Chains A and B, each alone.
Chain A
């Protein structure tokens, strides 16, 4: 993540007359603001992508609940991030471990607001990743409490290590030279490890893995919305990666080209992997492959050339298929494949950013630093999230009871039905 104002500072040193330099600096600031604000809006639009993709992969009786999780975690996450998270992540970072100011930002410079807006969207993305994995069996209140802790502590603390110190000081991983341009690890792996912790504490959905050892597929109710969600995420990612320049700079073209090629390669990688293992070519897996390509390129989008972006995406797609198989063997029920897509592909992408760094490829020191960053993310995020969900389960209750699962969380948690014309479960209402 490039620090704000770098480009402005550079332009200010150009040998122009004072008046021209001032105009140019103002123009540059305006252009930066416009681009980052648009990018923030694109990243926000990703919430719609997540909501459609996740609800489509869930059963109809849980569709409202999934949408509500996506909708409200973005709201709660944004408020908490403004209140606490942003300060921890980007405030003055003397220790290298967390920021110390810029909490509940009130009065700041114009571009600081833009930067905060953009970063808030990132936090919202990180927090929403777990919702899909934990779909169809999580108590709504417990989930939202988890979202608060993620945006207040889990995400910003790790973020401060890798990206911290925008207003002074620096994170310890950033000091080592850790590359994670737009957050393969900072945003996506962190979200993926939180999701992994969540599904471990929750256990699988009722009937997903039966008593006699068999696994029962639980198809989603609307694959059309899954595809639309995939397209929206892809579009939003141009803001996610392109906006991470935090400036209207010339390399946005390369970044977004890499983003696009990697996504395309991710879909192809997943498709080839499915064909190689003679599995049906599942649409959901192919879409997850493209998202894995997007996740993977996020770390190195600005430091790779297009051929290596394609390799990164292609491998990302394969990683998703392998990851889904691994979770299946471990009897872990990840409804949308979030752990594979965001966790595993994030790990691969962050490594790839070190391996394929333009002008310094296969540098073992850089790869080691990448590995340290990846390990730190897991060692911080997973145990804390595991503890958090365990405590939530023991206090407010994380797992919905089986009768709520049978009736669907739409009815049990929200007293609303996503598709009243089709859902027979509504008949329970009449019988009590």
Chain B
């Protein structure tokens, strides 16, 4: 029903099947998910549904430019790249159809300003990665200079207080506690953008107190350590199967 409505809206029902429409919506949703917070994401999907779903691929760039405003402008190429990859790759694993979420959002039934208002979730793969990255980065900073690492944590603690526009207070408080105590699982869900901005915050603090060279090195080593761990996990899984 959802797909029929959207296709009719575009007045080009013959051009695209219901299944294809649903798959495309899933593809767009999956592709944009890492880049946008919930409300911006749902707005973007609606825009795509209403204006771009049946247009030629060459106009995708215009869609991406329309949704990537403000600080997202620099991500235009990344978003487009991801979007094209998901749309064109029929084999790519996709998220569930977001249409129910979209309708609820339009009806005002989704509290998008605070993703933390939902019940605490078990850590997703991304959340695990996020926690590992933060933990490893903090450890490496500690190993380099304990006092400077302490200053970086304080810097991040103060800066997080300014994040009220993009995070709920409970998320901010949880992150502040977590970073000062550096342990345990985070109970709230954080979007990829939120995680990215927190990591960037720690990097900025490291730049200020360790210098950009060391900050870059530690940041690079942190990523490498997580990649390494992932590779080890893969090997373990493979050996278990055998």
Residues of A within 8 A of B (CB): 59, 61, 205-208, 210-212, 216-219, 400-404, 406, 412-413, 415, 424-425, 427, 429, 431-432
Task: Name which residue of chain A comes closest to B33, CB basis.
Answer: A432
Chain A residues whose C-beta falls within 8 Å of the C-beta of B64 in the assembled complex: none
Q: B212 touching A216 by the CB < 8 A rule? A: yes
Q: B203 touching A432 by the CB < 8 A rule? A: no
Tell me which of B75, B204, B213, B219 contacts A216 (CB under 8 A).
B213
Q: A218 touching B200 by the CB < 8 A rule? A: no
Say if the beta carbon of B90 comes within 8 Å of chain A.
Answer: no
How far, in whole Å, are A210 and B213 apart by their CA atoms in the complex? 13
Chain A residues whose C-beta falls within 8 Å of the C-beta of B219 in the assembled complex: 406, 424
Nearest Cβ on chain A to B155's Cβ, whole angstroms: 7
Chain A residues whose C-beta falls within 8 Å of the C-beta of B212 in the assembled complex: 59, 205-208, 216, 218
How far, in whole Å, are A427 and B129 apart by their CA atoms in the complex? 13
How far, in whole Å, are A413 and B200 apart by their CA atoms in the complex? 18
Q: B208 touching A211 by the CB < 8 A rule? A: yes
Q: A401 touching B71 by the CB < 8 A rule? A: yes
Q: B209 touching A212 by the CB < 8 A rule? A: yes
Name which of A61, A217, A403 has the most chain B CB atoms within 10 A of its CB. A403
Residues of B within 8 A of A (CB): 34-35, 71, 74-75, 77-78, 82, 151, 155, 192, 196-197, 200, 203-204, 206-216, 219-220, 223-224, 227
Q: B204 touching A406 by the CB < 8 A rule? A: yes
How far, in whole Å, are A206 and B219 apart by their CA atoms in the complex? 15
Nearest Cβ on chain B to A356's Cβ, whole angstroms: 42
How far, in whole Å, are A59 and B71 apart by their CA atoms in the complex? 23
Q: When A and B form their complex, which 8 residue pairs have the shortest distance between CB atoms, in order from nearest?
A: A216-B211, A207-B207, A432-B34, A207-B212, A424-B220, A415-B77, A210-B208, A211-B208
Nearest Cβ on chain B to A137's Cβ, whole angstroms: 11
Q: B211 touching A403 by the CB < 8 A rule? A: no
How far, in whole Å, are A217 and B214 apart by their CA atoms in the complex? 10
Tell me which of B155, B196, B207 contacts A206 (CB under 8 A).
B207
Secondary structure dominating the interface of A: loop
Tell me which of B35, B200, B213 contacts A406 (CB under 8 A).
B200
Known: A402-B204, A432-B78. Is A210-B192 also a contact (CB below 8 A)?
no
How far, in whole Å, are A206 and B205 apart by their CA atoms in the complex? 10
Tell me which of A218, A403, A425 contacts B213 (CB under 8 A).
A218
Q: A431 touching B192 by the CB < 8 A rule? A: yes
How far, in whole Å, are A301 and B212 apart by their CA atoms in the complex? 41
Name which of B34, B155, B212 has the most chain A CB atoms within 10 A of its CB. B212
Known: A207-B215, A217-B213. Is A432-B71 also a contact (CB below 8 A)?
no
Q: B196 touching A431 by the CB < 8 A rule? A: yes
Chain A residues whose C-beta falls within 8 Å of the C-beta of B227 in the assembled complex: 427
Q: B213 touching A412 by the CB < 8 A rule? A: no
Nearest Cβ on chain B to A113's Cβ, whole angstroms: 41
How far, in whole Å, are A59 and B227 apart by their CA atoms in the complex? 23
Chain B residues whose C-beta falls within 8 Å of the C-beta of A413 in the assembled complex: 74
Chain A residues whose C-beta falls within 8 Å of the C-beta of B196 in the assembled complex: 403, 431-432
How far, in whole Å, are A59 and B214 apart by their CA atoms in the complex? 13
How far, in whole Å, are A210 and B215 apart by their CA atoms in the complex? 12
Nearest Cβ on chain B to A94's Cβ, whole angstroms: 47
Task: Name which residue of chain A comes closest to B206, CB basis.
Answer: A207
How far, in whole Å, are A217 and B204 apart by their CA atoms in the complex? 16
How far, in whole Å, are A211 and B206 apart by their CA atoms in the complex? 11
How far, in whole Å, are A208 and B204 apart by their CA atoms in the complex? 11
Q: A432 touching B82 by the CB < 8 A rule? A: yes
Tell me which of B74, B203, B214, B223 contacts A427 (CB under 8 A).
B223
Nearest Cβ on chain B to A334's Cβ, whole angstroms: 16
Nearest Cβ on chain A to B31's Cβ, whole angstroms: 10
Q: B151 touching A212 by the CB < 8 A rule? A: yes
Chain B residues whose C-beta falls within 8 Å of the C-beta of A400 in the assembled complex: 74
Q: B204 touching A206 by the CB < 8 A rule? A: yes
Known: A210-B208, A211-B155. Is A219-B213 also a contact (CB below 8 A)?
yes
